[in-house]
């Protein structure tokens, strides 16, 4: 009689699976440890990360831009700021990428030093893709850093703000929660393709923008620090961005905003410039997801500034005054909302006039 010496198939399979699991355990532990570390440091990032402080301590007497903000898709201007000296004025700039692109704002700093006769230090709190919600966080930090004046140029990102969870469409659970997956295939928090807004939702975004402005004004008033808010200039010659992006090709978009833009462009071609400007402004504001500040953002800025006696730097009007036929376009912009070098010169001069006036009082 022959005795069976082979292990039954079920036992062989169990042993094989046990071996695989034991072999995979170190890999699983490494992945979990990596996820834990990335979550702790907030990398790549999420809306909570974007609401952290902008500057962090460096060597004694210095602060630097938070390193995370200079290595991610939403980025800041890298700055290394020395301790504030006696007699020095510290000016904080708040906003999104338009402020970030000002860098150290040397032209503004030089003009302020020339007109005020004192050393001036610029703290650039601009953070790409962020709106007025982020500006509130930056203002609190600026006050803690003994800012002598705060200047706000914000409005382009209210419908795409990466620091506002309502302005993007979240991807799948795994993508939202796995930092490793985000590193491999892209961040879960980028606002594209993003949601589209109906009229009621858009009004809520505008209402939140107004609340943020009022909170900012109250914060600065309580601290006794001048706040200067700027109207926000937009390129009226570029169509509503949402209609030109491939990501929206399969999305049913209302045709009216694009048709209205085309009507405005036709009026421009007919040299009916006053009518053209009005129609182009309405077309951009009518987009189900504005990718720049609209006339409604600027109306809110003007109304709040007037009601609360907050100094207003009317950048939009200055840009219009410097534009052919009073309609901002490629002469002063590099895209739909970012100014070119000449445009930034106008922005800096407009803010400088008001900041000088406030600090001389």
Q: Looking at the domain assignment, is residue 263 inside a domain?
A: no
**Residue 170 pLDDT more than 80?**
no
Q: Looking at the domain assignment, is residue 38 inside a domain?
A: no
Which residue range is the domain that position 102 belongs to? 47-234+292-360
Q: Looking at the domain assignment, is residue 140 inside a domain?
A: yes
How far is the C-alpha of 121 from the C-alpha of 108, rounded, in Å? 10
**DSSP-assigned letter for residue 242:** G
Q: Looking at the domain assignment, is residue 265 inside a domain?
A: no
| Token pair listed for 244 | 């030109």
How far is the C-alpha of 86 from the C-alpha of 129, rounded, in Å? 35
Q: What is the pLDDT of residues 199-232, one digit of tens each?
A: 999 999 999 999 999 999 999 999 999 999 999 9
How far is the C-alpha of 76 from the C-alpha of 64, rounded, in Å? 11
User: Who's near 22: CB < 8 A, 6+ residues apart?
Assistant: none
| Token pair listed for 276 | 């053209």
What DSSP string runs through 290-337?
A: -SS--HHHHHHHHHHHHHHT--EE-HHHHHHHTSGGG---TTTBSSSS
SS3 at position 25: helix
- For 59, counting Cβ atoms within 10 Å of its Cβ (0-12 exposed, 13-18 middle, 19+ buried), the class is exposed
- Give the CATH number, domain containing residue 207: 3.40.50.1110
Q: Please state the pTM of the whole predicted model.
A: 0.86
Q: Looking at the domain assignment, is residue 248 inside a domain?
A: no
pLDDT tier at 1 (50, 70, 90 boundaries)? Answer: very low
- For 224, counting Cβ atoms within 10 Å of its Cβ (0-12 exposed, 13-18 middle, 19+ buried), the class is exposed
Q: Please provide the average confidence, as pLDDT, over all residues in the chain.
A: 89
Q: What is the domain count for the chain?
A: 1
How far is the C-alpha of 209 from the C-alpha of 132, rounded, in Å? 6
Higher pLDDT, 309 or 60: 309
**Residue 258 pLDDT more than 80?**
yes
How far is the C-alpha of 250 from the C-alpha of 256, rounded, in Å? 17
Q: Looking at the domain assignment, is residue 262 inside a domain?
A: no
Provide the pLDDT for residue 191: 52
Task: Find, among 215, 293, 102, the residue nearest to 91 by Cα.
Answer: 102
Q: What is the pLDDT of residues 19-38, one digit of tens each?
A: 777 888 888 899 999 999 98
User: Who's near 319: CB < 8 A, 6+ residues apart?
Assistant: 233, 328, 332, 339, 343, 346, 347
Average pLDDT over residues 73-97: 92
Q: What is the pLDDT of residues 146-169, one digit of tens each?
A: 999 999 999 999 998 877 777 766
How far is the C-alpha of 6 from the C-alpha of 21, rounded, in Å? 23
Provide the pLDDT for residue 44: 72
Q: Looking at the domain assignment, is residue 141 inside a domain?
A: yes
Q: What is the pLDDT of residues 28-66, one digit of tens each?
A: 899 999 999 988 877 776 667 788 899 999 988 899 999
Crossing angle (nearest 10°) for helices 132-144 and 199-223: 10
Provide the pLDDT for residue 261: 97
Q: Looking at the domain assignment, is residue 245 inside a domain?
A: no
How far is the C-alpha of 318 from the C-alpha of 332, rounded, in Å? 11
């Amino acid at each position: 009689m022959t005795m069976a010496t082979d292990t039954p198939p079920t036992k062989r399979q169990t042993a094989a699976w046990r071996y695989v699991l034991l072999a995979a355990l170190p890999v699983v532990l490494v992945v979990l440890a990596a996820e834990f570390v990335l979550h702790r440091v907030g990398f790549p990032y999420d809306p909570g990360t974007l609401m952290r402080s902008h500057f962090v301590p460096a060597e004694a007497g210095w602060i630097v831009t938070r390193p995370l903000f200079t290595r991610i898709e939403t980025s800041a201007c890298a700055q290394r700021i020395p301790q504030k000296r006696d007699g020095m004025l510290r000016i904080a700039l708040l906003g999104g990428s338009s402020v970030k692109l000002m860098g150290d704002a040397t032209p503004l700093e030089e003009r302020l030093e020339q007109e005020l006769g004192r050393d001036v230090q610029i703290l650039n709190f601009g953070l790409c893709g962020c709106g007025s919600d982020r500006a509130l966080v930056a203002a609190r930090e600026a006050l803690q850093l003994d800012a002598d004046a705060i200047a706000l140029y914000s409005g382009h990102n209210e419908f795409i703000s990466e620091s506002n969870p309502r302005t993007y469409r979240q991807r799948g659970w795994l993508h939202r929660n796995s930092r490793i997956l985000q590193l491999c295939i892209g961040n879960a928090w980028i606002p594209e393709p993003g949601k589209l807004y109906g009229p009621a939702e858009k009004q809520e975004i505008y209402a939140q923008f107004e609340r943020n402005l009022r909170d900012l004004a109250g914060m600065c008033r309580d601290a006794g620090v001048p706040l200067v808010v700027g109207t926000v200039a937009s390129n009226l010659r570029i169509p509503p961005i949402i209609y030109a992006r491939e990501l929206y090709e399969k999305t049913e978009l209302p045709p009216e905003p694009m048709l209205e833009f085309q009507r405005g462009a036709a009026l421009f071609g007919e040299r009916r410039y006053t009518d053209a400007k009005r129609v182009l402004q309405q077309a951009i504001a009518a987009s189900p997801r504005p990718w720049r500040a609209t006339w409604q953002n600027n109306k809110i800025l003007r109304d709040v500034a007037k009601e609360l006696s907050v100094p207003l730097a009317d950048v939009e009007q200055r840009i219009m005054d410097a534009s052919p036929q009073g309609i901002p376009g490629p002469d002063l912009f590099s895209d739909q909302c970012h100014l070119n070098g000449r445009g930034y010169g106008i922005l800096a001069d407009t803010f400088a006039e008001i900041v000088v006036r406030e600090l001389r009082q």
